[in-house]
């Protein structure tokens, strides 16, 4: 599950529709106007490792990404909401290593993947104009296998665990420039770290909203260095969401 500009992308068990299991059907849903659109990938994919959605301002279009990886090869399948069409692109430079969620920055979906050439993790995105995978230079001295991505305040950010109860967050201030990576803050998480902890977004006050799995939602204030856990808000997954008037075909 992920979102972009108020549209939520849900992965759907095909048995809900036809009695067979596929795992390659999705629903685009706008809770604000109660519209939805079901889409089904026409390609046979060996393994779906990530899904994503972003807005392509060049074509005034929303694009759905399905990242499929297998040994020594990765492919991305892209659905165009405007054209109601699918395309597939294959790249042999990247392997099955995909870490964490995707991050949508600069009109592109980013992942941490494994480079067959470098034999290490790299930050990868798909260029919609040139229709090929490209890389973003990572922070120096980071172990990318342990790194995860997030968008905070419009910047591409990376974060990873340091110690038992801390998360370190870096942001690239000038997109594409390796030297512009800078540490934003260190989040002290006063909870058991067996639980998956993921930064979600920044509030208008500059606080960091954090998902702590089924234990609730946390808020970290970098200014005062305080961490609060709201355990009354529980769920298996949390994503950022903003209202939109974009209408989809269909309805509920």
pLDDT digits (tens, 9 = 90+) for 139-176: 876 665 577 899 998 999 998 876 556 788 999 999 98
pLDDT computed for residue 21 by the predictor: 39
Beta 73-80 vs 85-91: how paired, if at all?
antiparallel
* Contact indicator for 104, 151 with CB cutoff of 8 Å: yes
CA 144 to chain centre: 16
pLDDT computed for residue 251 by the predictor: 40
Q: What angle do CA 212, 138, 69 make, to 5 degrees?
A: 70
Higher pLDDT, 67 or 231: 67
**Cα distance between the two ends of the chain:** 19
Neighbours of 16 (CB within 10 A): 11
Name the helix (H) or strand (E) containing 166: strand 166-172
Mean pLDDT highest for which of 40-49, 140-149, 187-196? 40-49
pLDDT computed for residue 207 by the predictor: 92
pLDDT computed for residue 81 by the predictor: 93
- Whether pLDDT at 101 is above 60: yes
pLDDT computed for residue 23 by the predictor: 46
- Whether pLDDT at 229 is above 90: no
- Whether pLDDT at 86 is above 90: yes
């Amino acid at each position: 599950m992920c979102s972009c500009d108020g549209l939520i992308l849900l992965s759907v068990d095909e048995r809900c529709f036809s009695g067979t299991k596929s795992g390659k059907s999705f629903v685009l849903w706008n809770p604000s106007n109660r519209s939805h659109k079901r889409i089904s990938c026409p390609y046979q994919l060996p393994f779906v490792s990530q899904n994503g959605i972003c807005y392509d301002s060049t074509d005034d279009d929303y694009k759905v990404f399905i990242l499929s990886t297998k040994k020594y090869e990765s492919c991305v399948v892209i659905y165009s909401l405007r054209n109601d069409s699918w395309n597939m692109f294959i790249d042999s430079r990247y392997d099955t290593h995909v870490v964490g969620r995707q991050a949508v920055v600069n009109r592109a979906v980013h992942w941490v993947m494994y480079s067959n050439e470098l034999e290490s993790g790299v930050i990868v995105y798909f260029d919609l104009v040139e229709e090929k995978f490209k890389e973003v230079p990572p922070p120096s001295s980071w172990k990318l296998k342990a790194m995860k991505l997030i968008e905070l305040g419009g910047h591409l950010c990376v974060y990873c665990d340091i110690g038992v109860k801390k998360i370190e967050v870096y942001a690239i201030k000038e997109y594409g420039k390796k030297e512009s990576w800078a540490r934003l803050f260190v989040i002290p998480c006063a909870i058991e770290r067996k639980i998956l902890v993921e930064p979600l977004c920044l509030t208008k006050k500059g606080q960091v909203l954090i998902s702590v799995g089924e234990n609730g939602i946390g808020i970290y204030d970098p200014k005062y260095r305080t961490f609060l856990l709201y355990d009354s808000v529980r769920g298996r997954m949390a994503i950022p969401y903003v209202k939109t008037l974009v209408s989809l075909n269909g309805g509920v």
